[in-house]
Amino acid sequence: MINIAVLGYGTVGSGVVEVITTNKESIARRIGDDIRIKYVLDLREFPGSPIEDILVHDFDTIINDDEVDIVVEAMGGINPAYSFAKASLEHGKSYCTSNKELVAKYGPELLELSEKMNKNFLFEASVGGGIPIIRPLNQSLTADEIMEITGILNGTTNYILTKMSKEGLDFDTVLKEAQDLGYAERNPEADVEGYDACRKIAILTSLAYGQHVDYEDIYTEGITKISDVDFKYASKLGRVIKLFGKSKRAGDKFFAMVAPFMIDDNDPLYSVNGVLNGILVKGNVLGDVMFYGSGAGKLPTASAVVSDVVDAAKHKNTHIMQIWSSKKLELSDVGEAQSKFFVRMTGTADAKLEEVTEAFGDVQVINVENVTGEFGFVTGVMTETEFTQASEKVAGIITRIRME
Ligand code: HSE
C-alpha cells in the first residue's frame, strides 16, 4: 500500500483527490500496489465533504507518520511550502508539487536533498499544467543538446491575447471578462506582468542545461501595454501576438527572455489559442518537437501531479536522476539578443521615413485603415542594444513589439 498526504485542498489539491479517486484502479495497476490518500492538510474545515475524515490541520501529523510515503503539495508560494518540502524529504518521504515558485527558487537544493535521502522531488505540474514537459526533458530528449525552448507558458495571458486578437477588444475589457470567468486571478499581476511565465522558462532552461537559472536574471515584459491597435497592425501583417518565454543557446552563450512577440503562421505556436499552452523545443539532432495541451486548470494540473505520484511510488527506494545543479547558469546580456521589431510612431510615414531610415536602416512601412495620427514600421534584424540606440535618435515612438 502506498500512502499519500495532500497539502492544500484548493483547486489543484482537490483535483488530485478527484483524479486518484476516479482512476484508483488503473493507477494501482500502473504502480503495482494499492494507493490510499491517508491525509489532506488544510487550515479550513470541509464539513460534509469526502475528505472530512482524513482532514488534518497539523503538518507534524503527516511527517511523523512513517506510513506516509509521498507528500503531494498543491498550495503554491514559498512559505510554508519550502519548509514542508525539506521536512518531508528529511523524513524519508518523496515530494510531488505543482508549485513553480518553490521549484524555480529551491529546485536544485531540494533535488540534492532528495538524492541524499534516496527519495524523489518531482514537479511535472509546475510548468505547462497537464502537458508532459519536465519528464520529456529529463528522460526523453537526452540524446540532444537543447538549442532553444520557446513556450506559451501562461494560460491566462494566452486567453487574453487570443480574445483581443479575434474580437478586437481592448486589454482591460478582456482581463475583466477573464476574471469573471475565473481564468484570471483577482490580482492578475503574476500572469499579466509575465512573472509566472518567467519562473516556468527558468525551470525549463535549468533542466535543459543542467545548471541553475535564476529567474531574477531573466528579462521579463508582460502584456499590459499591448493594445487593440497593436492587433490591427498584427492583423494587417497576417500575424498574432503571443507572450513567449524563450531561452536559447548560441555557442557558449545563453539567452532567456519573457516578452510579447508578433508571429506569423509559419510559427508552430501560432495556433495555440485560448487557455492552452504550447512549448516548442529545438534539439541539435532531433530538430523541433512541440508539446501542446491544457496548461492550467484543476484536473489537467492534477493529472500531472498524480503522474509524479505514480513515478514516486514506482521508485519508492530509488532516486530518479534529474540534472539541475546549484551552479548558476550565467545568462548573456539581453542587449545582445536579436530580433526584428515592429514599431508604432506618431505622425505620418511620408513625413518621417527619412528620419526613421537614418536611425533604423531600411524598414517596411505599415499603415492601417481607421488608425490615424500614427504609422507602423518593421525593422530588419537588430540587437536590443542597437534598437535602443536607434530609438533614441527619433521622436514619437508609441510602442514596439519583437517579431520572430
Ligand atoms: N496562472 C497560471 C496560468 C496557472 O494562467 O497559466 C498555471 O500555472
**Atom number, ligand 1, closest to the C-alpha of residue 156:** 5
Round to the nearest angstrom and report the end-to-end CA distance of the chain: 51
Q: Each residue of 58-109: pLDDT tens digit?
A: 999 999 999 999 999 999 999 999 999 999 999 999 999 999 999 999 999 9
What pLDDT, on a 0 to 100 scale, did the predictor assign at position 235?
97
Residue 329, number of CB atoms within 10 A of its CB: 20
Beta bridge partners of 219: 257
Average pLDDT over residues 51-62: 98
- At the fourth CATH level, which superfamily is domain 135-294? Dihydrodipicolinate Reductase; domain 2 (3.30.360.10)
Residue 69 Cβ inside 6 Å of ligand 1? The answer reads no
Element spanning 236, H or E = helix 228-236
Residue nearest ligand 1's atom 4 by CA: 296
Residue 155 Cβ inside 6 Å of ligand 1? The answer reads yes
CA distances from 244 to 54, 161, 191, 210, 229 (A): 41, 12, 12, 22, 20
What pLDDT, on a 0 to 100 scale, did the predictor assign at position 5?
98
What pLDDT, on a 0 to 100 scale, did the predictor assign at position 102?
97
Identify which of 154, 162, 174 to mutate to test ligand 1's pocket (most ligand atoms within 8 A of the CB): 154
Residue 101 Cβ inside 6 Å of ligand 1? The answer reads no
Residue 336, number of CB atoms within 10 A of its CB: 13
Residue 99 Cβ inside 6 Å of ligand 1? The answer reads no
| Of the candidates 78, 154, 86, the residue with the CA atom closest to the CA atom of residue 114 | 86
Number of helices followed by number of strands (H, E) in the chain: 14, 19
Q: Each residue of 31-42: pLDDT tens digit?
A: 999 999 999 999
Q: Which grid cell sits at 404?
A: 520572430
Average pLDDT over residues 358-381: 97
Q: In angstroms, what is the span from residue 213 Cα to ligand 1's centroid?
A: 20
What pLDDT, on a 0 to 100 scale, did the predictor assign at position 391?
98
Mean pLDDT rounded to a whole number for the chain: 96
Q: Each residue of 326-361: pLDDT tens digit?
A: 999 999 999 999 999 999 999 999 999 999 999 999
Class of domain 2-129+298-323: alpha beta
pLDDT higher than 90, residue 131: yes
Q: Which grid cell sits at 184?
A: 484570471
pLDDT higher than 90, residue 146: yes
Contact status, residue 295 vs residue 157, Cβ threshold 8 Å: no
Residue 244, number of CB atoms within 10 A of its CB: 24
What pLDDT, on a 0 to 100 scale, did the predictor assign at position 171?
95
Q: In angstroms, what is the span from residue 62 Cα to ligand 1's centroid?
A: 28
Calculate helix-pair angle for 298-314, 11-22, nearest 10 degrees.
Answer: 60
What is the per-residue DSSP string for 342-354?
EEEEES-HHHHHH
Residue that the C-alpha cell 509524479 belongs to: 308
What pLDDT, on a 0 to 100 scale, did the predictor assign at position 16?
97
pLDDT higher than 80, residue 185: no
Could you tell me the residue ranges of all domains in the chain? Answer: 2-129+298-323, 135-294, 335-403
pLDDT higher than 90, residue 297: no
Identify which of 156, 179, 189, 294 to mutate to test ligand 1's pocket (most ligand atoms within 8 A of the CB): 156
Element spanning 330, H or E = none
Residue 350, number of CB atoms within 10 A of its CB: 9
Phi and psi at residue 370, to the nearest 5°: 65, 10
pLDDT higher than 80, residue 182: no
What pLDDT, on a 0 to 100 scale, did the predictor assign at position 179?
86
Residue nearest ligand 1's atom 8 by CA: 296
Q: Each residue of 226-260: pLDDT tens digit?
A: 999 999 999 999 999 999 999 999 999 999 999 99
What pLDDT, on a 0 to 100 scale, did the predictor assign at position 389?
98
Q: How confident is the model at residue 141 (pLDDT cuts 50, 70, 90)?
A: very high
Q: In angstroms, what is the span from residue 393 Cα to ligand 1's centroid?
A: 39
Q: Which residue has the higher pLDDT, 180 or 361?
A: 361
Query: Could you name the CATH architecture of 335-403?
Result: 2-Layer Sandwich (3.30)
Give the residue numbers marked as catalytic: 200
Residue nearest ligand 1's atom 7 by CA: 296
Q: In angstroms, what is the span from residue 115 Cα to ligand 1's centroid?
A: 29
| Of the candidates 269, 294, 296, the residue with the CA atom closest to the CA atom of residue 150 | 269
**Atom number, ligand 1, closest to the C-alpha of residue 200:** 8
pLDDT higher than 90, residue 181: no
Residue 312, number of CB atoms within 10 A of its CB: 27
What pLDDT, on a 0 to 100 scale, did the predictor assign at position 95?
98
Whether pTM exceeds 0.85: yes
Q: How confident is the model at residue 54 (pLDDT cuts 50, 70, 90)?
A: very high
| Of the candidates 174, 243, 190, the residue with the CA atom closest to the CA atom of residue 404 | 243
Catalogue the E-assigned strands of 153-275. Answer: 211-212, 219-220, 239-250, 253-264
Is-same-fold flag (135-294; 335-403)? no
Calculate helix-pair angle for 195-209, 100-116, nearest 10 degrees.
Answer: 30
